[in-house]
A and B are shown apart, each in its own frame.
Chain A
């Protein structure tokens, strides 16, 4: 061992000099000095960080940091803020690559007419993902996340029946102008027996096996001056788009939960309740709340993705 020995102190391994229980000792393997300097460097880093970024709480406020302004647009006005994750997100949502990509699609949708959008699978892919978010944010509170609605309260948008029309133009009008669905109460018009007869007739329209005599009497009131139901529902009960009146001949029920009733009596009762109480429903207009492009996206989404448009 004649050579100078690097990295190895001569003699036995050092101990820290402490002894426990008489002979229990601890080796001292010195840390490399640069390691200590690296530790000091982290301390310096922390101090620099405190100066540059939001760091220390002071009462209800905190140190904001210096030279870290972020400018972003909130609505129409330009806001400059100290560095924080919310401002970063805002800026990213306006200038990030995904945001730029989204804006390009948005412009494409804004400049296309409905036929162009519907026939372009790429644009439809965009409608599908953006429409889902728009619908969830604005419409799902009433219509449900999948547009399934709620019988008696909000129409089901995922089927192929449309009270106010199912074309793209109709749906556009519905979203932008809102709708007001109304059916008067017939409590004062009909006697209890007449309500039953009209209910039987309504059920018979969609193929239910009811007492023919009762249904015939109901039909007379439905199509006559006594009830005047045909004013809105039409003579054959197919409903009218202009009135938002329901088609009574199909399998779909929006107010009376007929499918949910096990017995014919039960079905008749729920129909009778609608006749007695009437209907009063309202959908707000979204013209001021959503942009024209957003309404366009939602229209296609409801017409093609969510439901079965005409």
Chain B
């Protein structure tokens, strides 16, 4: 189309891509990752998990009740900074891996790649291999084209709906929600999420495909800038493939490698297999390009050809720019060490935070309006709002006392008993009062609230620092 187009085309229709299938070690690895990822994604909502309190779903993001259940970990709203920790880890891991192995995320793990792979598989199973698909597209609309195209899109929609549905099931009790979804009893957001996810899956994996990576994806852009001369990228070895006189097809007098080398012809037999298998439709022999998602299918393609002609593999392979220029790849460099340190620090901190997270905590906040009150007997009273969280799965009984304030006395606004009961997975907020004889002026006296769980239960002692404020001006005193 470019030939016939005027010089200044501003808009361009998508040039269809018909990726040919290929077998090889990277394709096997990719199928393996895809199977594992799909297994986890589609089955995880159905995994049941035993809990004393809370739902019996292993992974459940319960927005309505403000709890995220991840196996034995229950995430409360106040733990939301874990999400920040997780995102930092994800970012550092991406930087680290990209610095070493290029766009490995894009090529092997990105859901765009995984779902596009599945959609291309469906396309191939229904319509046939690349030439058959190209022929079908060129042919006029008839029964065959209608049936084959229809079946493809139908299966695409089915996969899309399944994808959207599964995503929705993570946010509610899966068996119940599924039943509700089919009986029309599910809440509107469940339908909206399912349909939205299904629509985006169908459009992105079925219709847009490589354009998502080329035009939409920000990761593709910022991963590219993290490359350096030591980053492994999918590379065509031009000096081997092109020789001194360029590449050439196999012909009668250039059949063996020796013949070709004598003629100055490279090892590339220009079969075009590497271009045909590329899901983004580029020619890797033109060098590293922005569209390349590092899926390594061209490596598999070229290896297949090299095996069949009996020449060594690796005309296209993972290599760094430095190797291509005759050097040796340095894995240990400032950038990789830096990212590794940051990565392990973030993993360590998040793990530490989760492992040593107290299931039972208390916060004290002094009432500041007024800061202190003079009581009728001349004593000074300060008030505090205590918030006690019980994140465990059992009811906790505890007693509250003061520490470091020998002359102070404690009273609860709800009256005593000072034995507090906090139900499982619940919190309690209460106002407490501390009273003290006025024995100094304008002083901030540090002390601790101490919460001790009752005997017989798991022994927990919580100490929370607070300050007792004395009036600056002496009341009723000269």
Which residue of chain B has the shortest Cβ distance to A37 in the bound complex?
B11
Which residue of chain A has the shortest Cβ distance to B283 in the bound complex?
A5
**Inter-chain residue pair count (beta carbon < 8 A):** 140
Per-residue CB contact flags for chain B residues 395-431 toward chain A (1 = under 8 Å, else 0) read: 0000000000000000101110000110000001111
- The list of the 5 closest CB pairs from A to B, nearest first, reads A146-B369, A9-B2, A250-B376, A259-B475, A30-B12
Docked-complex contact A6 and B16, CB < 8 angstroms: yes
Docked-complex contact B14 and A34, CB < 8 angstroms: yes
B172 to chain A, nearest CB (A): 15
Docked-complex contact B413 and A16, CB < 8 angstroms: no
- Indicate whether B361 reaches chain A with its CB closer than 8 angstroms: no
Docked-complex contact A308 and B433, CB < 8 angstroms: yes
Docked-complex contact B376 and A33, CB < 8 angstroms: no
9 chain-A/chain-B pairs, Cβ below 8 angstroms: A5-B283, A7-B15, A7-B291, A9-B2, A11-B2, A28-B10, A31-B11, A160-B381, A252-B374
Q: Which residues of chain B (206-221) have a CB below 8 Å from chain A?
A: 208, 211, 215
- Indicate whether B175 reaches chain A with its CB closer than 8 angstroms: no
Docked-complex contact A7 and B282, CB < 8 angstroms: yes
Docked-complex contact A305 and B276, CB < 8 angstroms: no
- The interface of chain A, by Cβ under 8 A from chain B, is 1-3, 5-11, 14, 16-17, 28, 30-36, 118-119, 121, 124-125, 128, 144-146, 148, 156, 158-161, 206-208, 247, 250-252, 258-260, 262-264, 304-305, 308
| A30→B411 CA distance, assembly (Å) | 75
Which residue of chain B has the shortest Cβ distance to A31 in the bound complex?
B11
| A293→B443 CA distance, assembly (Å) | 41
B370 interface neighbour in A16, A146, A250, A260, Cβ under 8 Å? A146
Docked-complex contact B374 and A251, CB < 8 angstroms: yes
A159 interface neighbour in B16, B376, B473, B476, Cβ under 8 Å? B376
| A243→B374 CA distance, assembly (Å) | 23
**Chain B interface: which size bin?**
35 or more
B429 interface neighbour in A8, A119, A125, A251, Cβ under 8 Å? A125
Which residue of chain A has the shortest Cβ distance to B374 in the bound complex?
A251
| A159→B374 CA distance, assembly (Å) | 7
B8 interface neighbour in A2, A14, A118, Cβ under 8 Å? A14
- The interface of chain B, by Cβ under 8 A from chain A, is 2-3, 5, 7-17, 208, 211, 215, 249, 270, 272, 275-276, 280-283, 291, 367-370, 373-378, 381, 383, 385, 411, 413-415, 420-421, 428-431, 433, 473-478
Which B residues are in CB contact (< 8 Å) with A125? 428-430
Which A residues are in CB contact (< 8 Å) with B421? 121
Sample of 19 more A-B contacts, CB < 8 Å, known A7-B282, A252-B375: A2-B249, A6-B17, A7-B280, A8-B282, A9-B5, A31-B12, A35-B215, A118-B415, A121-B428, A128-B431, A144-B370, A156-B373, A159-B374, A160-B375, A161-B375, A247-B376, A251-B475, A304-B413, A308-B411
Which A residues are in CB contact (< 8 Å) with B385? 128
A205 to chain B, nearest CB (A): 11
B219 to chain A, nearest CB (A): 19
A29 to chain B, nearest CB (A): 9
Docked-complex contact B430 and A7, CB < 8 angstroms: no
Chain B CB count within 10 A is highest, among A7, A36, A158, A258, for A7
| A250→B414 CA distance, assembly (Å) | 25
| A125→B12 CA distance, assembly (Å) | 63
Which B residues are in CB contact (< 8 Å) with A208? 476
Docked-complex contact A33 and B215, CB < 8 angstroms: no
Which residue of chain A has the shortest Cβ distance to B281 in the bound complex?
A6
- A259-B374 CB under 8 A given contacts A7-B291, A121-B414: yes
A17 interface neighbour in B7, B414, B478, Cβ under 8 Å? B7
A78 to chain B, nearest CB (A): 24
A interface SS class: loop
| A277→B13 CA distance, assembly (Å) | 92
Which B residues are in CB contact (< 8 Å) with A8? 282-283
Which A residues are in CB contact (< 8 Å) with B420? 121
Which B residues are in CB contact (< 8 Å) with A17? 7-8
- A161-B211 CB under 8 A given contacts A7-B282, A263-B478, A308-B381: no
Which A residues are in CB contact (< 8 Å) with B3? 10
- A148-B376 CB under 8 A given contacts A6-B16, A31-B12, A304-B413: no
Docked-complex contact B8 and A32, CB < 8 angstroms: no
Docked-complex contact A251 and B413, CB < 8 angstroms: no
Which B residues are in CB contact (< 8 Å) with A7? 15, 17, 280-282, 291
B340 to chain A, nearest CB (A): 36
Docked-complex contact B11 and A36, CB < 8 angstroms: yes
| A30→B7 CA distance, assembly (Å) | 11
| A6→B211 CA distance, assembly (Å) | 13
Docked-complex contact A32 and B215, CB < 8 angstroms: yes
- A32-B14 CB under 8 A given contacts A124-B413, A159-B381, A259-B475: yes
| A254→B17 CA distance, assembly (Å) | 87
| A121→B395 CA distance, assembly (Å) | 14
| A28→B385 CA distance, assembly (Å) | 65
Docked-complex contact B413 and A30, CB < 8 angstroms: no
Which B residues are in CB contact (< 8 Å) with A32? 11-14, 211, 215
| A10→B286 CA distance, assembly (Å) | 13
Chain A CB count within 10 A is highest, among B376, B381, B421, B478, for B376
Which B residues are in CB contact (< 8 Å) with A3? 272, 275-276, 283
| A113→B273 CA distance, assembly (Å) | 84
Docked-complex contact B377 and A250, CB < 8 angstroms: yes
Which residue of chain B has the shortest Cβ distance to A18 in the bound complex?
B8
B426 to chain A, nearest CB (A): 9
Which B residues are in CB contact (< 8 Å) with A16? 8
Which B residues are in CB contact (< 8 Å) with A258? 476
| A267→B476 CA distance, assembly (Å) | 9
B414 to chain A, nearest CB (A): 5
| A259→B378 CA distance, assembly (Å) | 11
Which residue of chain B has the shortest Cβ distance to A262 in the bound complex?
B478
A49 to chain B, nearest CB (A): 18
Which residue of chain B has the shortest Cβ distance to A209 in the bound complex?
B478
Which B residues are in CB contact (< 8 Å) with A36? 11
Docked-complex contact A2 and B272, CB < 8 angstroms: yes
| A255→B368 CA distance, assembly (Å) | 23
Which residue of chain A has the shortest Cβ distance to B415 in the bound complex?
A118
Chain B CB count within 10 A is highest, among A2, A5, A251, A258, for A251
B10 interface neighbour in A30, A119, A145, A304, Cβ under 8 Å? A30
Which A residues are in CB contact (< 8 Å) with B14? 32-34
Docked-complex contact B370 and A158, CB < 8 angstroms: yes
| A260→B3 CA distance, assembly (Å) | 95
| A11→B7 CA distance, assembly (Å) | 12
- A128-B369 CB under 8 A given contacts A6-B16, A9-B2, A308-B375: no
Which A residues are in CB contact (< 8 Å) with B249? 2
| A28→B52 CA distance, assembly (Å) | 64
Which B residues are in CB contact (< 8 Å) with A10? 2-3
